[in-house]
Structures are given as structure tokens and as C-alpha cells.
Amino acid sequence: MNNLLIVLTLLGLCISLSNGFDMLGGSKVTFSNQLEHSKLLKVLCDNDEGEQLVKIGKEYEFTFGDSIFKTTRYSCKMDQGPNFKHHQEFVAYDASWSKALEATCKWIAREDGIYFSQDGNPPLRRYEWDGPHLLKT
């Protein structure tokens, strides 16, 4: 009986901590439009916020709480205007990428590709537009 009480107490603490992280909204994914010629950037992620249109020089971001089990993952698609014929689909956030409690991932759309910066590190080109694979870093 005592073992069951201990297990239930620990389970309750884990659930409370997980919900607490969700309420803190500590992790963040940002999309920055650094394209040329006044092109719009269209962003669609599986975070239930719907399609976002980002003007040149502007950013779109969303924050969230990570699962304590490090299973949080968001996939996104970016298209560049004006006709949105160039695009790329990729995993924009995976909790296993960072050891920080409040991780930040920044994706930057430029004419020559899509750049990625994590936790304040310098951005590196990770994808080409319309390219099928992650570029080697």
C-alpha cells in the first residue's frame, strides 16, 4: 500500500511539472523573412496556429512548453512568394536538440536557402529551396 502511494505521488508530481512547463511556455520557434524583392514568406506548422504570412523584415514566432519526456516536435513548411512556387518542409523543433529548459530555434528565409540558429548560435544554412535533404554542416 505504501509503494502504491509513493508511485501515485511521484506520478502526480511528474504531471504537475509537465503542466507547469506548458504554462511557462519556455521554448520558442521563430521564422524570419530576409528574402528580397518584397517577397512574402508563408509558414505553416503543425502547431494549430494555421498559415502565417510574414512580410519582409518581420518575424513570426510561437512559444510552447516542452514535454518533460523530451518528445515535443514541430514540423513546418515554408513557401516564398510572390507565387509561392519555392518551398521546403522540415522539422522546425525537436526537444532532443537542446539541453536548455527554454530552447530557442530561429529559421531565417533568404534567397539562397533556409538558415538555422539554435540558442543564440550563429545561423548556418541548413536547406536549399526545393531541395529534398538537409545540407551537411
Q: What percent of the residues of the chain are helix, what percent strand, and what percent coil, each to the nearest 5?
A: 20, 40, 40
What pLDDT does residue 19 have? Answer: 44
CA-to-CA separations, 63 to 45, 94, 101, in angstroms, rounded: 13, 13, 13
pLDDT at 23 over 60: no
Predicted structure pTM score: 0.79
* Contact of 71 with 113, CB cutoff 8 Å: no
Bigger pLDDT: 108 vs 20: 108
pLDDT at 4 over 90: no
d(CA 71, CA 105) in angstroms, rounded, equals 16
Degrees (nearest 5) of the Cα angle 114, 99, 33? 20
